[in-house]
Structure 1
């Protein structure tokens, strides 16, 4: 991970190694039922958004899923392990560590094995770990396998605007919290902190007059923002020093977050225990009473189930949402 820092102490996330797109063109990954397995950890925001999309679009019977522990294994290299499964191995792939599917695809791979990663079951190799585009593939070229009346999360007429907003959300919010938490200089931290909260303030204003980021319906952008917001108060606020405001202190962002949490596909794929374990017990940047690490007791989940009244901002009722 030392390679992911600039000379000024700022954090720069590693690039994705396996980026071959899914599709029906030569050289693309074929769209086939039961051919792929999605590996994730419920602690990870990048992986969580792919699992939300998979659930919403009804791809659960098409692409299987393997779940890694939120706790990093106590080994020399950074990895994810399948210690939650019987005998500590994924029941389909027979692997103990995430890195195995990366090395199977590229024996010279030296980066961090990341989630989400799609594995081709025909050869047990990692074929796509491009978290930035993976949800878009699931939303478009995987359409033949979408459930009936699946919502359009990435409508063609909005894609340019969605892509532009996704890019901003990635750099300033999704990765922005990591730029704060992993900064190795005061200047790098404060620059990332100011950028993060300037963007959250802007999103607060945007959501004051519209239910979701693009109006009355959920898009890919909402899913990407949700994955960070839902972890903010329980992990990033203290752990990553993003402590100007809790999300619960924003009127509109807080109502928006509860609205999404109560929407099918969001709350049931959110595992607060896994999130807390990963960020407060597993990530080594946290210094908590010396060698003693304490797992926070909260949050009270009833807060997320409370009334939000965001539907009043909608001009129409979307049956997908309620």
Structure 2
């Protein structure tokens, strides 16, 4: 009987010790590649917990500086601000009010940051409209794309004047990047950067986020957000946004759209980011709370998978905690 052949090619050799695994790791995590989404609520004096997102809160203007300080101290690359106003109307006028909650929060965050991280703002009307849609409605109740662009350009100018360094265009209106870029340039804000939520899908994973911003949405956003079944369309949208002047493009959600993320990353000449959305966060937290998964390992694996698929940076609600794990050497 012939002896069992001994394999000469043994990939396991490079997995033998923690030091070897660390040395040959193909995908590394760094705090500067993480962005922390922050909700700021008008009319509260202290942070308010969000029931569907354990560990995440709606900040007050007074608690916001500490949150920014914590993120900066952890080495996080940026914060993305979302406003939660007390009063909403059909045109979302609070979004362009210099004293509206998002613009006030931007000034507070910019001062607290002192240049140590990038202060970013969500540029969309959904948090500010009484109907909950990302734009203004026409007389038939449909989102009016071109009328919405006019509101977006006003929002862009208000946010830049408040201190935003990167405008997160998340409304998925056709032509939004070109409209905002032209408005910024015409006003002399040539250095204001644009993050385009280019491939933003009509996803079920946004549920907890709508709790966080106290959304008033009646219906859905399928006429402007992408169909979850469409892969090529995600790449097409990103390429359009790059042509219109986007400085960064993004895929949202991240975990269920890693194929789209990989497509965009392979084709893009600008940085590509991904948003690990509220539903992705809450599912891991819920499973971990029941003891069904190892929380730390699941968090690290989920973000590493997004980076491995091609994201240059990740928006995640675990940004600060994950950054601390990385700095402590626990995310190798």
Please state which band the TM-score falls in when normalised by the shorter chain. Answer: 0.3 to 0.5
Using the size of structure 1 for normalisation, the TM-score is 0.32
TM-score of the aligned structures, taking structure 2 as reference length: 0.32
- Find the structure with the greater CA-based Rg: 2
Greater share of residues in strand: 2
